[in-house]
Amino acid sequence: MIRRIGVLTSGGDSPGMNAAIRAVTRVALASGIEVMGIRDGYKGMINGDFVLLDKSHVADRLDRGGTFLGSARLPEFKDDEVQQKAVEMLQANQIDAVVVVGGDGSYRGALALTKKGINCIGLPGTIDNDIPCTDYTIGFDTALNTVVEAIDKLRDTSSSHHRCSVVEVMGNHCGDLALYSAISCGAEIVITPETGFDESEVLERLKYLDGTLKKNHAIVIVSEKITDVDSLARKISTHTSFAGRSTILGHVQRGGSPTANDRVLASRMAEKAVDLLVKGQGGMCVGIINNEITATPIEEALSQARKSRKHLYRLFDRLV
Ligand code: ADP
Ligand code: F6P
């Protein structure tokens, strides 16, 4: 039987993490279980940076971006002794089990703790939507809406000046933010790890859009870590009749009030996490597949490839 669970947020923050902490707290308290907030992810876990959460601690948090518990990256958590220290700290504070909100790195930490006797459940908290065994991650919808709002504005000014906007979005090796925003904004070109990048192809395409289709603007959405968008914009200015301008959206994509979809998703997933811990289960990660909340062993999730997005790339190609 568990009497006290811990909750932490780890890795890059995402909008909806507060909603997840709130729901873990409220659902657990409703089941007679105490909740210990762990500050700054695994860093706070090994330092004993804990706060006992009551209902009022999580009031007025649902609509806030970021994570009020703080998040951090602690590379040393891969070490066995550091994990052992965490287990000792949890035991000393009577924390029987933990909900970890983060990405796949955070899941690995959760799995390691489970193997050492502290049941942990992972919730997918990242704007990147790069976690297997879930259709959506907590924060993706909000980040997507932030990107769409920004690109809609860029389109206005681009069309006034016969410009091509080259917009870099986040995603950390996953093209979902770029692809979904390209479909949402009616972009002319999308470049992601899945599409690959051929600079001369992009320039030829833009010449065709301008010369043959007489477009007065173009939007090129590029996933981060693929190419230098400033240099691509300069080449567009030199080799096409569009004036190229680059915009790196950066960390603005990580902030902001979570959308209703992210709040509901976080709350549903958090409820599942508490229910699993109450049943004595650990080493699982929660997902949403076809609108059903699911639980998958972390080991299995980490060994799986993400679902193909071929159908969405095909749709994008048919829309341009
Ligand atoms: P994310 O969770 O968003 O993928 P990171 O990859 O930065 O972000 O991981 C977050 C934290 O999870 C790391 O700083 C580290 O503390 C922990 N972590 C990452 N990989 C492992 C691992 N292989 N074993 C144990 N803990 C890990
Ligand atoms: O994983 C979320 C994310 O925002 C990625 O999209 C991006 O590559 C990375 O984190 C940026 O990390 P940092 O917070 O270290 O700048």
How many domains would you assign to the chain?
A: 2
Domain containing 217: what range? 141-255
pLDDT tens-place values along the chain, 320 residues long = 999 999 999 999 999 999 999 999 999 999 999 999 999 999 999 999 999 999 999 999 999 999 999 999 999 999 999 999 999 999 999 999 999 999 999 999 999 999 999 999 999 999 999 999 999 999 999 999 999 999 999 999 999 999 999 999 999 999 999 999 999 999 999 999 999 999 999 999 999 999 888 999 999 999 999 999 999 999 999 999 999 999 999 999 999 999 999 999 999 999 999 999 999 999 999 999 999 999 999 999 999 988 899 999 999 999 99
Residues 268 and 233 in one domain: no
Q: Which CATH number fits the domain that encloses residue 225? A: 3.40.50.460
The answer, yes or no, to whether any atom of ligand 2 lies below 6 A from the CB of 172, is yes
Look up 128 and say whether it is catalytic.
yes
Collect all residues with Cβ–Cβ distance below 8 Å to 207 and sequence separation of at least 6.
Answer: 239, 240, 241
Separation of alpha carbons 157 and 147, rounded Å: 16
Tell me, yes or no, whether 124 and 187 share the same domain.
Answer: no
Is 318 a domain residue? no
CA-proximal residue: ligand 1, atom 8 (nearest): 11
Beta strands in 224-273 (DSSP E): 243-248
Q: Is 170 close to ligand 2, i.e. is its CB under 6 Å away? A: yes
* Distance in Å, CA 212 to ligand 2 centroid: 39
β-bridge partners, 246? 166
Q: CATH no. for residue 14?
A: 3.40.50.450
- Which of 40, 96, 104, 128 is an active site residue? 128
For residue 60, the CA-to-ligand 1 centroid distance in Å is: 29
Do 265 and 133 belong to one domain?
A: yes
Distances (CA, A) of 46 to 5, 36, 41, 110, 259: 16, 14, 9, 14, 33
Among residues 176, 210, 148, 189, which one has the least CA distance to residue 319?
189
Cα–Cα distances (Å) from 32 to 22, 95, 98, in that order, read 15, 14, 16
For residues 13 and 113, membership in a common domain is answered with yes
Residues 8, 125 within the same domain: yes
Residue 55 lies in a domain: yes
**Residues 34 and 130 reside in one and the same domain:** yes
In a domain, 312, yes or no: no
64, 20, 255, 229: CA torsion to nearest 10: -170
Q: pTM for the full model?
A: 0.97
Whether 140 contacts 265, CB under 8 Å: no
Cα(185)–Cα(150) distance, integer angstroms = 10
Centroid of ligand 2 to alpha carbon of 241 (angstroms)? 34
Looking at the CA of 11, which ligand is closest?
A: 1
